Structure formats: structure tokens, C-alpha cells
Structure 1
Amino acid sequence: MTGFLAFLGLAAVVIVTPGPDTAVTIRNTLLGSRPGGVMTALGVASGQVIWALATSAGIVAILVASKPLFLALTYAGAAYLVFLGIQALRDAFGSSGVKAHIAQPINPSSRLRPLAAFRQGLVSDLGNPKMAIFFASLLPQFVPAGEASFFSFLLLGLIFSGMTFGWLTLYAVLVATAGDFLRRSAVRRWIEGLMGGLLVAFGIRIALEGR
């Protein structure tokens, strides 16, 4: 029980620390309201479930041990975050973005679709090589040596994924609740610019750390 509580504590610290998944969730909530944020959170959590399955099956250990594969994943994930960041910066400060923000409400037809939000959350998480290292190094510490099995690893991974989904969903609800204020022209451009800058910075940092 003590080991499990320690796992919950460490997982909570890791989950509440802002990162690329948090930035994507906030941005997608602004673009797609609460459904967009919740679906992004679900995509992130689904990515973590995949990491948990891969860790339990020993695939992550192979991935981390193979430098070419790991570098390919690192650079692909970093490029995707930079792409999302540039897209956000363009929407915030580009001429077309400024014109689009003049009107207070977002046209429903231009909202981020839930499926697209889910895909961005999923790819954001799967493209983060730190998740591979994190799952490969964290989960074994909390599974007794004599009890290590596919299902014991998977259970911890599912718990971590569920906690992540709950935390990011809370972000989505809070941002959506303040939606009218946050979608004001100047405020939304500022937040989009901030999220875009963070996503680009996260992408560059991941790429540099993977060298």
C-alpha cells in the first residue's frame, strides 16, 4: 500500500506539471470549447494507455534501446509540436488571424472538431519521447520484483492515464467556463500567442534533448 501511495503522489506531481499536453488542451479548449478540450484530454490519456501497453509488453524498452528509432520518434514529435505552435502563432498574430478575432463569438462552423482535437492530443502524447522514458523508468519502481507482470504494469499505467484525463479535463472545464472572457479579441490573441510560443519551445527542447 505504501508503494502504491508513493506512486500516486509521484504521478500527481508529474501530471500537474505543465507541459505540451497542457498547452494543447488549453488551446483546443479555446478553439473547440469544452468538447474540444475534453476530447484533447481523452486523446492524451489514450496515448498514455498505448505507452502503458507498450511498456507492459516490453516494446518501450526496445524503442529506448534503439537509438535510430528513438531519435526518429523524438524529431517527429518535436516537429509536430512546432507545427502546432506555429499554427497558433499564425492564428494569433497573422493578418487573417487578427481579422478573425475582431468578432467576439467563434463561428460554430470554424470550431475545432472533437475528432481533430482527439487526434492532436493523441499525437502530442505519442510524439513525446519523454513518455517512453518515463513509463519505462517509473512503472518498474512500483511493482515488486516477484510480482512483475504484464497486468501489474498495465494497471499502474491505466491509473496514471486516468489521473491525467481527470486533470486535463479540469483544465478544459475551467477554460471553457471562462470562455466568453478568454475569447475576447485581445485576450484570445494573447493566449494563443502564449500557447503557440510554449509549443514551439517544447518542440525545440525535445529535439535538443534527443540529440
Structure 2
Amino acid sequence: MSWSSYLSFLVFAVVLVLIPGVDFTVIVRNTLTGGSLRGRWSAVGVASANIVQGSVAVAGLGAVIVHSQPLFLAIRWAGIAYLVLLAGQAFRSAWRGRYDPVAAHRPGDGAAARAQRQAGWRQGFLSTVTNPKVLVFYLAVLPQFVGPATPVAVVIAFAVSHAVLSLAYLLLVVAGLDRARRVLRRRAVRRLLDTATGVVLVGFGARLVADGP
């Protein structure tokens, strides 16, 4: 392993991070629902799941999970079910059209802020850790940049680097949404975004179904 390999991996990881996926959709949804606080913690949840799946892949368990059909299918269907659940919440929110533009972006203190942090982290973590494509990414991509003699600590550093890049990008997304909140908080815009979010999440779930055996 050389610095050139590491830099090549970083470039590849940046490209992948910039491609909108489930994590991006969940971040947008949480930021619009609970403001920047919830959005930031959703990003932390996504990064945490990336580290978990990267570590699992490095430990060799990832290959076992991918090649164990029942376990892999269980994870895949859990991810599909969770995406459908989030889509249902988005559609319900769009249907009701009840938004509190002030409370939605007020950081809050105490129990309210803690609830926003927990909800944001949970959704970010679960939406990513139940996505088998993330695990397959680590198993398929990491070997292209590291060799069989590469120390485990170095491989973990690669996985953590990807998680950090993802976190940085998603935090920028949250900041951008927060700056545009005056427009995004309008009821008509919120309903449109909730509907679009639901459609996108259903689309990701359908894609997981179609990609399966």
C-alpha cells in the first residue's frame, strides 16, 4: 500500500459520496423535518454505519454475510422494509400538510433536543447499516486499493476515511438546506419535497428488490 493508492481511493470515494443515494434522501428528510440539529445527527448516524460496515468487512465477516444467502436476504429485506417505512412517513406528512416552520428549525434544549438527536442518528444509522450495497461496496472496492499483506489498521483507516468524507459532505448538505430554510419551510414546498422524498425512497426499495435473487 502506498500514498498514491490511498489518494486514488480518496478520489474514488469522493465520487461515490457525491452520488445521491438513500443516505442523501434521509438527510434531506430529517433536516426538513427536525432542522439542522436532526440533520447533523442523521449524518453522524450514516457515518457511524459506514464505520460499522467497513469494520465488519475488514474483519472478514462481510464476506460471510454476503455469501450466506439467508443472512444476506434478511439484511436486504430489513433495509427494504425500513425504506418503505420512511417513505410512508414522508407520504403521510405530505398528505396531512401540517408543518410548524418555527419549531422545525429551532435547536431546542433538554429533552426536545435529545429526542431530535436520537431520532436523527437512528434513522441515519439504520438506513445505511441495513443497506447491503454499502457492505458490498467495501468488499468489492477496498481490495482494489490494498493488498493481502496490508495491515488491518491501514484497511480500517481506508474505511474510516470514506465515512469521514461522507460525513463532511452530508454536513454541507445540511448547512445548505438550513440556509435555504425560508423557501423550504413554505407549506407547498414542504409537501412537494415530502412527496418527492417518498417516491425516491420507494424507488430505492424497489431497486433493492429488483437487484436481489
1:105 corresponds in structure 2 to 102
- Aligned counterpart in structure 1 of residue 142 of structure 2, from 139, 144, 151: 139
Q: Hey, what's the Cα distance between the residues in 2 that align with 1:127 and 1:210?
A: 14
2:71 corresponds in structure 1 to 69
Q: Hey, what's the Cα distance between the residues in 2 that align with 1:136 and 1:122?
A: 19
Q: Hey, what's the Cα distance between the residues in 2 that align with 1:206 and 1:184?
A: 33
CA shift at 1:208, angstroms?
A: 2.1
Does the 8 A contact of 1:89 with 1:193 survive in 2? yes
Question: How high is the sequence identity, in percent, across the aligned residues?
Answer: 35
If the length of structure 1 is used for normalisation, what is the TM-score? Answer: 0.92
Greater shift, 107-116 or 118-127, is seen at 107-116
1:114 corresponds in structure 2 to 117
AA paired with 1:168?
L
CA RMSD in angstroms, aligned pairs only: 1.7
- Aligned ranges 1:156-195 → 2 under 5 Å: 156-195=158-197
2:12 corresponds in structure 1 to 10
Q: Deviations over 1:115-157 (max 9, x none)?
A: 111000000000100011000111111113332x321211100
Q: Hey, what's the Cα distance between the residues in 1 that align with 2:149 and 2:38?
A: 43
Is there any run of 5+ residues in structure 2 with no aligned partner, and where? none
Is there any run of 5+ residues in structure 1 with no aligned partner, and where? none
Residue 80 in 1 paired to residue 77 in 2? Answer: no
Does the 8 A contact of 1:55 with 1:153 survive in 2? no
Report how many aligned residue pairs link the two structures: 205
Q: Hey, what's the Cα distance between the residues in 2 that align with 1:197 and 1:33?
A: 21
Question: 4+ residue stretches of structure 1 with deviation over 4 A?
Answer: 107-112
Q: Hey, what's the Cα distance between the residues in 2 that align with 1:180 and 1:74?
A: 38
1:208 corresponds in structure 2 to 210
Q: Hey, what's the Cα distance between the residues in 1 that align with 2:63 and 2:86?
A: 29
Q: Hey, what's the Cα distance between the residues in 2 that align with 1:55 and 1:153?
A: 10
If the length of structure 2 is used for normalisation, what is the TM-score? Answer: 0.91
CA shift at 1:104, angstroms?
A: 4.6
